[in-house]
Amino acid sequence: MSEKPFFVGYLPAPGPLRMFLLAACVLLIAGLGTAGYLMGAAQDDPGPGAFRFDYGRQTVTGVIEMTPYPVLHVVEGNDRIMPGDSFMMTAAGKSGVDSRAMPLNGQLAQVSGIVLERGDLYMMQLRGGRNGLRAAEGDVPEIPTEPQGRWQLSGEICDGKCLAGAMRPGRGLAHKACANLCLLGDVPPIFVSTQPVLGSEFLLITGPGGTRLPRAAYDYVAQFITAEGEITKRGDLLVWEIDTDTIEVTE
Amino acid sequence: MSVKYTPVQWNRNKWIYDAVMLAGVAAFLWVFLYVTPEVLNHDRAINPQIHNARAFGACAFVMLTVILCIGPAARLDKRFLPLLYNRRHFGVMTAFVAITHAGYILNWYFNFSSSDKYVGLLYANSSFGQIAGFPFEIFGIFALVCLLILAATSHDFWLKFLTPPVWKRLHYLIYAAYFSVAAHVSLGILQDQQNHLFTVVFMLGAAAVIVLHIAAWLSERGEAAAKDGAWAKVAPVGAFRDGYAKIAKLANGDRVAVYLMEGKLSAISNACAHQNGPLGEGKIIDCLVTCPWHGFQYDVRSGRSPAPFTEMVPTYRVRIEGDMVEVHPDANPPGTYVEPVPIPTPPSSEGVTA
């Protein structure tokens, strides 16, 4: 019988066992490094959304409309944001600006903040207090509202801010709890359609009759669903009144 | 076995063990954090906080996988036994890596809202009635709690305080933690991945743990089945070598180590009173068997540690039937002296392989 190498914890490892252990240690370290590479390199592209700090602070004037989520229809723009544009607004963090915007519903207001941009999805994170949103003087133009009929759409309910670039990635099931927190904090919800709808991939979602997104829809946030509802074009923004009774999860 | 209390009894092997494990963890994190962003080459990078959270989370999963592979690997091939030596330190490292992952998640996904982040963690997603969209964070919380319990009770103080059987059962929580982590990953990040390489690595890791455990179980079940009966057969007389043991697994699952020392056979429990280390893997030095894990020593005739130490393990009766050495499955109380049984013909100095 050959002498089996015998390891005693407080003594140096025997010669034959030493080589085996050396090989095991090298393999362990190399294996962990390789696993780190494979798992790290397998991460998906988080998409093009981002805070556009490179644009600098943007200040424009427009008409506030509560859809019920606050939207600004631009009247006086600048070199980036043109008159006729419509965009959603949020506050810093996972909060909306409903309490500040509500008293100005239907009125002219000046807004100031940082833009979040993802393709044709535009959103502005307003500065705090009156620096971010205040009443402005001037005539209030009529904002066109064009019903587009009832549509069945497939896609995903997201919170508009993370999707627009506050978080990368800002959608998907791993992000569901964060999205729910944003929606509970009055950040506008967005539907990401699998196919462009009337030229747009993103639609602001509300409940039926212009109510807030029903709580029943929160269970479906970040899942691929099919649902029906009326689409209305407000300014240049599409608003989808989702009928929660028609929501179906798709594989 | 100590007359002077030392919190951690360091020696060169422990330093090497910890250094190797730390090097492995550092390699994983360095590659994930600093090499893969260059490879990914996204137009807009993943948020650093999310990238960091993923790195530490993935690392904790791989570390847990390694920890759970070491045990069955050592049961299948004794050369892996030294990897068990300081595994508790690797477990504590895993707890630290996992809590770093949790910290990044908590301070990013659950921060910046009007509610407390810990409260938000528990109520933000309450879709418990569905698979897709299930609040997978709850599995991560459970696994983290398990890891923290294991890390907090990993010290010898708790082994002594709880007694080895209780301590061992408590530390089976590692399996609950692993299953919980698997659910956490499966219902979380795997639901979103478009690139399935991560899924493949995850499944290979989990499969390695399952396959190794099944292989070790089958191997030991075969050995136990071969040794069933009132008196358990151990090995032919000629298979014994002076200074070493043969291990028998009894029908009740206990293991007995039968030693040949100076031409006589003695049997004691295979589980060291310190940490259930495999005494049967130990060698008799100065008439005492030395546990391979931490060097605790016992007289194989009485199961007692030499004075002034007080540790004791159960002893067993031994007999020789024909050419076969057998052990009685009823254990004597720890420390009970049993007269060694002389073998008819001493084996040759070269020894005989079983």
pLDDT tens column, B60-85: 999 999 999 999 999 899 889 888 87
Q: For residues B69 and A22, what is the distance between their CA atoms, to the nearest angstrom? A: 18
Spell out the SS3 assignment of chain A: CCCCCCCCCCCCCCHHHHHHHHHHHHHHHHHHHHHHHHHHCCCCCCCCCEECHHHCCEEEEEEEEECCCEEEEEEECCCCCCCCCEEEEECCCCCCCHHHHHHHCCCEEEEEEEEEEECCEEEEEECCHHHHEEECCCCCCCCCEEEEEEEEEEEEEEEHHHHHHHCCCCCCHHHHHHHHHHHHCCCCEEEEEEEEECCEEEEEEEEHHHECCCHHHHHHECCEEEEEEEEEEECCEEEEEEEEEEEEECC
**Which of the listed residues A135, A165, A182 is the one where a domain comes to its end?**
A135
Q: What percentage of residues in chain A have a pLDDT greater than 70? A: 95
Residue A23 covered by a domain:
no
pLDDT of residue A4: 58
Do A123 and A206 contact (CB within 8 A), yes or no? no
pLDDT score of A251 more than 90: no
**Both tokens assigned to B140:** 């991560």
| In chain B, residues 264-283 whose CB comes closer than 8 Å to chain A | 281, 283
For residues B331-353, give the mean pLDDT: 73
**What is the band of B353 on the pLDDT scale with cuts at 50, 70, 90?**
very low
Residue B247: exposure state from Cβ atoms within 10 A (0-12, 13-18, ≥19): middle
Number of C-beta neighbours around residue A131 at 10 A? 14
pLDDT score of A1 more than 80: no
Residue A125 covered by a domain:
yes
pLDDT score of B228 more than 90: no
pLDDT tens column, A118-171: 998 999 999 999 999 999 999 999 999 999 999 999 999 999 999 999 999 999
pLDDT tens column, B7-66: 777 888 889 999 999 999 999 999 999 999 999 989 999 999 999 999 999 999 999 999
User: CB of B173 within 8 Å of any CB in chain A?
Assistant: no
Q: What is the count of residue pairs from A and B with beta carbons less than 8 Å apart?
A: 219
Half-sphere exposure of residue A211, counting CA atoms within 13 Å on the CB side? 12
pLDDT tens column, B167-205: 999 999 999 999 999 999 999 999 988 899 999 999 999
Query: At a CB cut-off of 8 Å and minimum separation 6, what does B135 contact?
Result: A176, A177, B124, B125, B126, B127, B128
Q: For residues A205 and A188, what is the distance between their CA atoms, to the nearest angstrom? A: 8
CA distance A145 to chain B (A): 33
Matching residue, tokens 């100065």: B286
User: CB of A141 within 8 Å of any CB in chain B?
Assistant: no
Angle at B178 between CA B175 and CA B179, to 5 degrees: 90
DSSP-derived 3-state class of residue B49 = helix
**Both tokens assigned to A215:** 């709580």
Angle at B298 between CA B81 and CA B307, to 5 degrees: 135
Q: For residues B314 and B303, what is the distance between their CA atoms, to the nearest angstrom? A: 6
Give the H or E element holding residue B248.
strand B245-249
Please report, in angstroms and rounded to a whole number, the separation of the first and last CA atoms in chain B.
Answer: 33
pLDDT tens column, A75-101: 999 999 999 999 999 999 999 999 999
Q: For residues A69 and A160, what is the distance between their CA atoms, to the nearest angstrom? A: 11
pLDDT tens column, A200-209: 999 999 999 8
Do A1 and B284 contact (CB within 8 A), yes or no? no
Total structural domains within chain A: 2
For residues A94-117, give the mean pLDDT: 97
Omega before B292 cis (within 30°)?
A: no
CA B194 to chain centre: 35
**Which of the listed residues A92, A107, A135 is the one where a domain comes to its end?**
A135
User: CB of B34 within 8 Å of any CB in chain A?
Assistant: no
Matching residue, tokens 């963690």: B121
Half-sphere exposure of residue A85, counting CA atoms within 13 Å on the CB side? 18
- Among A51-55, B11-15, B229-233, name the one with the lowest average pLDDT: B229-233
Q: For residues B277 and B268, what is the distance between their CA atoms, to the nearest angstrom? A: 13
Residue A8 covered by a domain:
no
What residues of B are in contact with residue A17 (Cβ under 8 Å)? 79, 82
**Which of the listed residues A100, A135, A170 is the one where a domain comes to its end?**
A135
User: What fold, for B232-342?
Assistant: Rieske Iron-sulfur Protein (2.102.10)
| In chain A, residues 73-92 whose CB comes closer than 8 Å to chain B | 92
Matching residue, tokens 């190399």: A30
- Do A199 and A244 fall into the same domain? yes
**Both tokens assigned to A33:** 């490094």
User: CB of A17 within 8 Å of any CB in chain B?
Assistant: yes
For residues A30-56, give the mean pLDDT: 96
AA identity, residue A224: F
- Do A124 and A104 fall into the same domain? yes
Residue B341: exposure state from Cβ atoms within 10 A (0-12, 13-18, ≥19): middle
- Taking each helix axis from N to C terminus, what angle separates B12-30 and B48-76, rounded to the nearest 10 degrees? 140
Report the candidate in A124, A50, A56, A84 with the shortest Cα–Cα distance to residue A234. A84
- Do A178 and A112 fall into the same domain? no
Q: For residues A234 and A88, what is the distance between their CA atoms, to the nearest angstrom? A: 12
Residue A17 covered by a domain:
no
| In chain B, residues 319-348 whose CB comes closer than 8 Å to chain A | none
Matching residue, tokens 């239907």: A106
Q: What percentage of residues in chain B have a pLDDT greater than 90? A: 61
Report the candidate in A29, A21, A37, A30 with the shortest Cα–Cα distance to residue B23. A29
CATH of the domain at A126: 2.40.50
pLDDT score of B116 more than 60: yes
Say which of B14, B39, B281 has its CB closest to residue A41.
B39
Residue A102 covered by a domain:
yes
Report the candidate in A184, A243, A160 with the shortest Cα–Cα distance to residue A209. A243
Nearest Cα residue in chain B from A166: B47
Task: Provide the mean pLDDT of chain B.
Answer: 89
Matching residue, tokens 């002389």: B342
Residue B236's alpha-carbon distances to B170, B246, B259, B320, B326, in angstroms, are 38, 10, 13, 9, 9
Q: For residues B326 and B317, what is the distance between their CA atoms, to the nearest angstrom? A: 9
Within chain B, all domains assigned CATH 2.102.10.10 are found at 232-342
- Residue A208 lies in domain: 145-249
User: CB of A216 within 8 Å of any CB in chain B?
Assistant: no
Q: For residues A114 and A64, what is the distance between their CA atoms, to the nearest angstrom? A: 18
**What is the band of A66 on the pLDDT scale with cuts at 50, 70, 90?**
very high
- Do A123 and A161 fall into the same domain? no
Report the candidate in B41, B44, B58, B42 with the shortest Cα–Cα distance to residue B105. B58
- Do A157 and A233 fall into the same domain? yes
Segment of B176-185, B281-290, B312-321 carrying the highest mean pLDDT: B176-185
Do B124 and A181 contact (CB within 8 A), yes or no? yes
